[in-house]
Amino acid sequence: MGKVSRFEELKCWQNARLFVKQAYEIKGPLDKDYDARRQFRRAALSGMNNIAEGFGCFSRKEFIRFLEISQRSIMECKSMLYVFEDLGYLEQSYLLQLHGDVDILRKQVMGLIRSLR
């Protein structure tokens, strides 16, 4: 990959953006659990926004710190998917898709961290 001049060019940010869209489009019983729905959305947004915020940092070390925060928020989403499963909020096939999306996103963020180190 050549030099990236905008955070929008980062594949992990692009996928985080798609995941945020998914988080906002979830329908069903989760609609009535305002706290869980809000927390899931906030964690997804944090994952995406910390990538962008870190990109704007002036040091590599600080960028890595923001990426680490991003991957923690992504893992929070993963954990919440288990709550949604336990409470029967989402269909199993959709849960599996979301788990896969989270796993890919985390691997991308971790890959960027490794490349910056």
Max CA-CA distance within the chain?
45
Note whether 44 and 20 are within 8 A (CB). Answer: yes
Number of Cβ within a 10 Å radius of residue 59: 8
Residue 108: domain span: 7-116
Write the CATH number for 93: 1.20.1440.60
Is residue 80 one of the residues assigned to a domain? yes
Q: What is the per-residue pLDDT across 65-110, written as a single tens digit (0 to 9) for each?
A: 999 999 999 999 999 999 999 999 999 999 999 999 999 999 999 9
Q: Is residue 2 part of a domain?
A: no
The predicted-structure confidence for 7-27, as pLDDT tens digits, reads as follows 999 999 999 999 999 999 998
